[in-house]
Amino acid sequence: MRSLTEQLTKYAAYHRDRRNIGTHFIGIPLIVLALAVLLSRPVIVTAGTLPISPAWLLFGGATLYYLVLDVPLGLTMAVVSATCVAGGAWLERYGTVATLGIGAGLFVVGWIFQFVGHSAWEHRKPAFFDDVMGLLIGPLFVLAEALFALGWRPSLQAAIEAQAGPTRINPPRERAAGE
Does 87 reside within a domain? yes
Per the structure, the count of domains in the chain is 1
- Domain around 116: 4-163
pLDDT at 44 over 90: no
Does 172 reside within a domain? no
Closest CA to 58 of 34, 23, 91: 34
Average pLDDT along the chain: 87
52 bridge partner residues: 45
Does 44 reside within a domain? yes
Does 72 reside within a domain? yes
What's the pLDDT tens digit per position in 86-107?
888 888 788 889 999 999 999 9
Does 39 reside within a domain? yes
What pLDDT does 33 receive? 94
pLDDT at 71 over 50: yes
What's the pLDDT tens digit per position in 139-156?
999 999 999 999 999 999
What is the rounded CA–CA span in Å between residue 141 and residue 12?
Answer: 8
Q: What confidence tier does 47 reach under pLDDT thresholds 50, 70, 90?
A: low
What is the rounded CA–CA span in Å between residue 129 and residue 151?
Answer: 31
What's the pLDDT tens digit per position in 168-179?
876 655 544 544
Does 129 reside within a domain? yes
pLDDT at 127 over 80: no
What pLDDT does 91 receive? 85
Does 176 reside within a domain? no
